[in-house]
Amino acid sequence: MNSHQKSSENRSFPLNVSNNRQAVLNRLNERHTQSQVVNSQRKNVDSFGNGNIHENFLQHFTQYKLAIVTDLEDMTKKIQGYDLPINERTQFVDDILARLEHMQNWLNEASMYLTSFDNEQARLELKSLNDLFQEKRTELLPNKKFGFSRQQTTKKQENENKNESHPESSICKSSSIVAPKNNDSIIYDERFSLINITGPKHFIIPNINCSSDSFISQTVYLVDLIDCTIEICHVFGSLIGRRLRNCKIYAYPISGSVWLDECINCDLVFACRQLRIHQTSNCRLGLHMASRPIIEQCTNLKVAPYQLVYKSLEQDLSTAGLSINSNLWHEVDDFSCPNRRLTKTSPNWCIMPEVDWSSLCPNKN
């Protein structure tokens, strides 16, 4: 680690910003406690046999929704004054996503006991909440172009030239990628990020020379990639992929969430707690999931179980908080298909033929 990197990592927020940040975290903890109370209240109406099912359900469903709306509004207001680190933003978004999935499951369980009108009203309420979440998520994790300084670009080009003769390129740098606008800037670690690259190229994240102390708190950021193969060979905290074309991503377990937007003709192999895919088409997915994968505005997705096998896989799954014996890879929730629970499927995804599963491994395509 060079002195510039060390001083940058040790730099702290100004006192007033730090206090504001702590206030946000305190607020989130308070909200989390409140949501636990709502969850506890929900248990009182989970035995759907009494005559007041719709009253109890709609009351608690609305309370739960309002708590989420308040959290989203509070967070987007309070991040305006300073830059909340990407891992803390991602953690907050993960929490909201888990609560949205909880509401969806709750509605699915209650739907057979609700009147048609109440069922439709609850569905519309959940849809509006999902729309709000999508809007606020864009503010928290802006979908922007990112750029390097001229010096960083020059160094990057020199490194690419050096690796020209090698089939694999590795990443381990100490600089950062910063969104250009001050109000929305988020710092991503360039060691674990690939941006605006046209292949064919092959990358391994991280490089063997990178310290492994904090990978599980890091986010892998992949955006605007064409014809790239990326092997992620360590347990990371989260992954964000945007505008990937003809790419192959093979990842060791992710301890948090994976977000994918606008990906086309890709092979995507992930083991993670939460997966959300938006506006993606013609992709094959090999998954090991702790929760149901969620897709929105997607077409022609093919899913299969996670195919990566290596010596420390079981240990890495444990490190990521995943169970080797529990995998919801084929229980896909399609938020664009209202009748997905009635038909048990949607026209936007299917299970890949078993004979093709093994092709979701490096060097087997």
pLDDT digits (tens, 9 = 90+) for 188-207: 677 888 999 998 999 999 87
Residues 6+ apart with CB under 8 A from 315: none
The Cα–Cα gap between 60 and 66 comes to: 10
**Contact call for residues 301 and 318 (beta carbons, < 8 A):** no
CB atoms within 10 A of CB 26: 10
- Hey, where are the domains in the chain? 11-140, 150-359
Domain formed by 150-359, architecture: 3 Solenoid (2.160)
The Cα–Cα gap between 189 and 220 comes to: 8
Closest CA to 305 of 330, 280, 340: 330
| pLDDT for residue 91 is more than 50 | yes
Q: Reduced to 3 states, what is the DSSP secondary structure of residue 329?
A: coil
pLDDT digits (tens, 9 = 90+) for 26-81: 555 555 555 554 454 444 434 333 444 455 777 788 888 888 888 888 887 777 76
CATH ID of 11-140, from 1.10.287, 3.40.50, 3.30.70, 1.20.58: 1.20.58
pLDDT digits (tens, 9 = 90+) for 133-172: 877 877 777 654 433 333 344 444 444 444 443 444 445 4
Token pair 């529990």: residue = 326
Query: Residue 355, Cα to own-chain centre: how many angstroms?
Result: 29
Does the pTM exceed 0.85?
no
Which phi and psi angles does 21 have, rounded to 5°?
A: -60, -45
The Cα–Cα gap between 303 and 322 comes to: 19
